[in-house]
């Protein structure tokens, strides 16, 4: 019997506490419309639920499932690095454990990579909300005009984009490009934010070009509301500071860093305001409660309200990421929260 050809593509998927619907993800890869085999490398980042047992008990028919488990929870950067080590194919696709691929997902990545054989080309696929999951107004905003999660609303099919669009939920690249750098994902990034951008910036200096292909489609099964996404925005602000600390030459390209400088120069810290964490928390909760009322109900100013509030939490991360828990950070935070609170409730009353 002739031996089957070696797979040419590996999908690297960090997993954490996704046991409740990870089976749906695995079954979607069984539905791929290609005959060739492929590798799915699932790295369990020390999950505390049934994620690891589900992965090890699953018996795929259409692909090779390679399962690894981390001893301690270390974040997606560490998990992806381990997945890259295990990948022995010329093509690698980074995906998430909440990403359901369309049936042509892998075929489209392979076809587009063959169309662009240059070693530096990465193919960015499209991510959309699935039709069988309710999508609230916040979720429409962050993947729409707000673009706080992804910028697909503004991307044009077939166009080239810079390192800031290296979305590790759906992007393929050649192993040769990764071999050009000594370090892959930087594990200093504690949260799942900007560790992909930081890697892409170093890859861009070694020839990376990102081309968007909307046909490489996958669906994002990750429900968000104003509470969960405001936390994500705060963590993104913290990690944006880390990115600029490592690469100060790109600070002008990172959203919000100029805002922080202008805020200080405008003298916001000179406004009489005695910082109280309790007070700031109360105001934040009041704003979030008020916005949550519109989660399933439209409002004429909703996009602008979401922009203001989500920018606030991102910029709060910038403040504390830059100045830590200093008096200066608390003063800037307090003034900015007070201004946001009055602006939001004044607009909602009018």
pLDDT digits 0-9 by tens, 102-126: 999 999 999 999 999 999 999 999 9
Q: How many whole angstroms separate alpha carbon 167 and alpha carbon 162?
A: 11
Q: How many whole angstroms separate alpha carbon 188 and alpha carbon 338?
A: 32
Q: Rounded to 5 degrees, what angle do the CA atoms 62, 63, 68 make?
A: 145
pLDDT for the residue 263: 52
CA nearest neighbour of 214 among 297, 135, 152: 152
pLDDT digits 0-9 by tens, 283-327: 888 889 989 999 998 877 899 999 989 988 998 888 888 888 777
pLDDT bin (cut points 50, 70, 90) of residue 278 is low
User: Which position has the higher pLDDT, 333 or 41?
Assistant: 41
pLDDT for the residue 95: 98
Mean pLDDT value across the chain:
89
241 has a pLDDT exceeding 60: yes
CA nearest neighbour of 275 among 233, 236, 319: 319
Q: Within 10 A of 343 (CB to CB), how many other CB atoms are there? A: 15
pLDDT bin (cut points 50, 70, 90) of residue 3 is very low
pLDDT for the residue 324: 80
Q: How many whole angstroms separate alpha carbon 121 and alpha carbon 123?
A: 7
pLDDT digits 0-9 by tens, 39-88: 999 999 999 999 999 999 999 999 999 999 999 999 999 999 999 999 99
Show Cβ contacts of residue 140 under 8 Å, excluding neighbours closer than 6 positions. none
For the chain, domain boundaries: 9-220, 226-349
Which residues partner with 66 through β-bridges?
41
Of the candidate CATH numbers 3.60.20.10, 3.40.50.20, 3.90.550.10, 3.40.50.720, the domain formed by 9-220 belongs to 3.90.550.10
pLDDT for the residue 265: 42
- Mean pLDDT value of segment 141-158: 97
146 has a pLDDT exceeding 60: yes
Q: Which of 11-25, 149-163, 286-300 is the least confident region?
A: 286-300
Q: Within 10 A of 294 (CB to CB), how many other CB atoms are there? A: 18
Helical pair 327-349 and 302-323, crossing angle rounded to 10 deg? 170
């Amino acid at each position: 019997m002739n031996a089957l050809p070696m797979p040419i593509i590996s999908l690297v998927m960090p997993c954490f506490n996704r046991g409740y619907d990870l089976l749906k993800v695995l079954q979607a890869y069984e539905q791929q419309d290609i005959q060739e085999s492929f590798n799915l490398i699932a790295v369990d980042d020390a999950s505390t639920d049934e994620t690891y047992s589900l992965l090890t008990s699953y018996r795929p028919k259409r692909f090779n499932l390679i399962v690894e488990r981390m001893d301690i929870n270390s974040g997606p950067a560490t998990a992806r690095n381990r997945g890259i080590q295990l990948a022995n194919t010329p093509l690698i696709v980074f995906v998430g454990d909440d990403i359901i691929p369309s049936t042509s997902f892998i075929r489209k990545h392979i076809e587009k990579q063959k169309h662009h054989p240059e070693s530096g080309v990465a193919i960015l696929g499209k991510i959309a909300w699935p039709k069988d999951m309710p999508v609230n107004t916040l979720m429409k905003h962050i993947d729409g005009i707000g673009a706080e999660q992804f910028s697909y609303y503004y991307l044009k099919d077939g166009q080239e984009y810079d390192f800031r669009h290296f979305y590790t939920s759906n992007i393929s690249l050649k192993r040769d490009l990764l071999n050009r750098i000594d370090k892959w994902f930087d594990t200093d990034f504690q949260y799942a934010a900007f560790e992909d951008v930081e890697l892409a910036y170093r890859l861009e200096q070694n020839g990376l070009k990102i081309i968007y292909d909307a046909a490489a489609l996958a669906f994002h099964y990750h429900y968000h509301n104003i509470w969960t996404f405001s936390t994500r925005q705060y963590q993104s602000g913290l990690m944006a500071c880390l990115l600029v600390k490592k690469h100060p030459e790109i600070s002008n390209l990172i959203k919000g860093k100029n805002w922080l400088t202008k805020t200080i120069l405008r003298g916001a810290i000179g406004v009489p305001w005695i910082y109280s964490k309790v007070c700031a928390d109360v105001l934040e909760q009041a704003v979030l409660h008020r916005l949550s009322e519109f989660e399933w109900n439209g409002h004429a100013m909703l996009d602008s309200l979401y922009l203001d509030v989500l920018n606030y939490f991102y910029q709060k991360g910038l403040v504390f990421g830059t100045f830590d828990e200093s008096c200066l950070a608390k003063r800037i935070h307090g003034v900015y929260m007070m201004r946001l609170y009055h602006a939001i409730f004044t607009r909602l009353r009018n």
